[in-house]
Structure 1
Amino acid sequence: MRSVLYCRPGLFLSLLTVSVLFLSSGFAARAQDELVVADQKGQQKAVFEASGANRDLPYRIRWVEFEAAAPLLQALGAGAVDTGIAGDSPFFFAWGAGLPVKAVYVVPPRGGGHATAVVAPSGSAITSAAQLSGKRIATGRGSVGHLLLLRLIGTGAIPAPAPRIVFLQPAQAKAALDTGRVDAWSTWEPYVSLETAGRHGHVVADAAGLMPNNSFLVATVTALRDRRALLADFYGRVSRAYVWGRAHPEEYARILAQQTGLPEEVASSVARQLIASPVPVSEAVEDAERTTVETCREAGLITSSMPVSQAFDRVEAVGGPLP
């Protein structure tokens, strides 16, 4: 695994320090009756509004858009946003680097882990994990795509020589794949569907059976202390919105396409892959995520020895049917 490039937690904190002033300056004056919510590619906002979960809100929600979990978590660490959704690997990477964040609700995988996958472009001869040996693969540093590659290498699915991992954010990774500067892209939804449904690429290997594939609703320690009642109401609405989304995937896909500009066939694929109802974090979730944390520690992504249990804070969502 010598050719694999690993991330240093100190680098994550350095990147965070650079962005703190910019991120926090725009949100420092927010009111106590406002939640600033980080979203990835508009997916959470789309299901929230399509379901009607935003009706009769007793507080204001300000949505902030991110293309991936890493900058989203940087914003959380800077205190620029209160809560957001992130995959397990980038969350633990951020938490292990000392960011003041906690996972509050788990969004379990739907579809057996297919929402995280290594994709190859149309016309590529790469069709199996074994063929990724020695290839150039793009992914986000500390992302679920990065974790998938580490697991494929660690289990021997990708034999030696290890692939060369090129760390890029999604827009740059997609451009690199389209122009042939990398051979494959280890990514997540909606980018898996964007490449496979939208551009007729194909899945080489996915995360089924290799990792927990959980996402988390994450909040800052400050928000958990000062806006706990707002968070409880918001998480309850989000949970019920996702229940609605599972029952109305076509309507969700239509709103998602309208709000994000994703092609309709991509939005429909995302709706099928991602809509799963958030639930409170359980001991079973903690146990499963120890595999994620240990994989990150072995790769040098996490140096902290804090127990996994300290990464969670359970907020009881306000229940009841949608208004």
Structure 2
Amino acid sequence: MRHPQPRCFVCSLFLLFAALLHPLPGLAADVPDELVVADQKGQQRALMEAAGVEQDLPFRVRWVEFEAASPLLQALGAGAVDTGIAGDGPFFFAWGAGMPVKAAYLIPPRGGGHATAIVVAPGSTITSPAQLSGKRIATGRGSIGHLLLLRLIATGGIPAPAPQIVFLQPAQAKAALDTGRVDAWSTWEPYIALETIGHKGHIVVDAAGLTPNNSFFVATTAALAQKRRLLATFYQRVALAYAWGQAHQAQYAHILAQQTGLPEDVAVSVARQLIASPVPISDAVEQAELITLDTYRNAGLIQPSAPLSEAFDKDILKP
């Protein structure tokens, strides 16, 4: 399985995004008392608003929504947002390509690794990862879905011949799966629930035991230098919101459905998978993420020049 050189691809996107955004007013670093937060499918914003933890913040939070982590990280790399949530796969794909970002706050594995999975459409006869050999599988380039596929190939879960990976954003991938243009989709929540609960497809295999399954609040190096107090306060409120969510999953699911348009039963499943207990990043987390970095590096997708320790800011919440 051949891959294009990612450094050129990712950095080209980064430079294009930066060029498009740079002349415009209102970039994240321009407003010192405003934190610009990137979200995926409105999930973090819904949780924090449901918990009521934003109400008395001493600064403004401006939310920007993205469909997936890849465009979110491009926005971070271009300085259009200050912080946002991303899985470990897309984060290391971006960091390894030289984007000026660091992981600053940890969202531990959600749902024991079940929040990333390969799904198939209703009626598919594919029931095991071995049956994915040689098949067309949609996922996002550098996403946690891509990471899952690479781990299955590397560990022999998907034997030769390797599947043909079709790189698509979530909306395109769902359409391709539903119309039979691909055989499977390696994706994440809420898209797993949308396909399995909403469309009656089924899961072939998930990421449990294959990847660290961490997510991070990622921040730009500029925000970490210029808005450190704001970031620390915001991450503390994130922890309060997740604690509220653990105690009020039904309420959170209802608000998530209202704010994102997800069907209620899908939102209930997503809420169950989403809720975790955010914590600062530890040395153990750094060591665990070696497998993520090495998976992309061994596939020839990134060649980071900096040591792994420089991917993290572990001191953001220290007194």
Mark yes or no: TM-score above 0.5.
Answer: yes
Q: Percent of aligned positions with the same letter in both sequences?
A: 69
* Residues 167-211 of structure 1: per-residue CA shift (max 9 Å, x gap): 001111011001100000000111111111111110000000001
Q: Does 1:16 align with 2:28?
A: no
Residue 85 of structure 2 aligns to which amino acid in structure 1? I
Residue 102 of structure 1 aligns to which amino acid in structure 2? K
Asked whether the equivalents of residues 109 and 274 of structure 1 are also in contact (C-alpha less than 8 Å), the reply is no
Residue 312 of structure 2 aligns to which amino acid in structure 1? F
Where does residue 27 of structure 1 map in the other structure? 26
Q: 1:57 to 1:108 in 2, by over 3 A?
A: same
Instruction: Measure how far apart 1:304 and its partner are.
Output: 1.5
Asked whether the equivalents of residues 5 and 165 of structure 1 are also in contact (C-alpha less than 8 Å), the reply is no
CA distance, structure 1, for counterparts of residue 278 and residue 219 of structure 2: 14
Q: Does 1:218 align with 2:215?
A: no
Asked whether the equivalents of residues 105 and 278 of structure 1 are also in contact (C-alpha less than 8 Å), the reply is yes
CA distance, structure 1, for counterparts of residue 204 and residue 111 of structure 2: 16
Structural mapping, 1:237-252, within 5 Å: 237-252=237-252
Q: TM-score by structure 2 length? A: 0.96
Where does residue 233 of structure 1 map in the other structure? 233
* Residues 108-157 of structure 1: per-residue CA shift (max 9 Å, x gap): 11321000000001111011100000100000001100000001111111
CA distance, structure 2, for counterparts of residue 315 and residue 57 of structure 1: 21
Q: Does 1:183 align with 2:187?
A: no
Residue 278 of structure 1 aligns to which amino acid in structure 2? P
Where does residue 85 of structure 2 map in the other structure? 85
CA distance, structure 2, for counterparts of residue 116 and residue 107 of structure 1: 14
* Residues 23-63 of structure 1: per-residue CA shift (max 9 Å, x gap): 34253384210000000000000001000111111100100
User: RMSD between aligned alpha carbons?
Assistant: 1.4
Instruction: Measure how far apart 1:318 and its partner are.
Output: 8.7
Q: 1:7 to 1:214 in 2, by over 3 A?
A: farther
Asked whether the equivalents of residues 27 and 81 of structure 2 are also in contact (C-alpha less than 8 Å), the reply is no
* Residues 58-87 of structure 1: per-residue CA shift (max 9 Å, x gap): 100100000000100000000000000000
SS of match in other structure, 1:262: coil
SS of match in other structure, 2:286: helix
Structural mapping, 1:29-178, within 5 Å: 30-178=30-178
* Residues 200-246 of structure 1: per-residue CA shift (max 9 Å, x gap): 11000000000100000100000001100000100000111011111
Where does residue 282 of structure 2 map in the other structure? 282
Q: TM-score by structure 1 length? A: 0.95
Asked whether the equivalents of residues 146 and 186 of structure 1 are also in contact (C-alpha less than 8 Å), the reply is yes
CA distance, structure 2, for counterparts of residue 23 and residue 152 of structure 1: 37
Q: Does 1:267 align with 2:236?
A: no
Asked whether the equivalents of residues 228 and 316 of structure 2 are also in contact (C-alpha less than 8 Å), the reply is no
CA distance, structure 1, for counterparts of residue 318 and residue 261 of structure 2: 32
Residue ranges of structure 1 left out of the alignment (5+ in a row): none
Residue ranges of structure 2 left out of the alignment (5+ in a row): none
Residue 27 of structure 1 aligns to which amino acid in structure 2? G
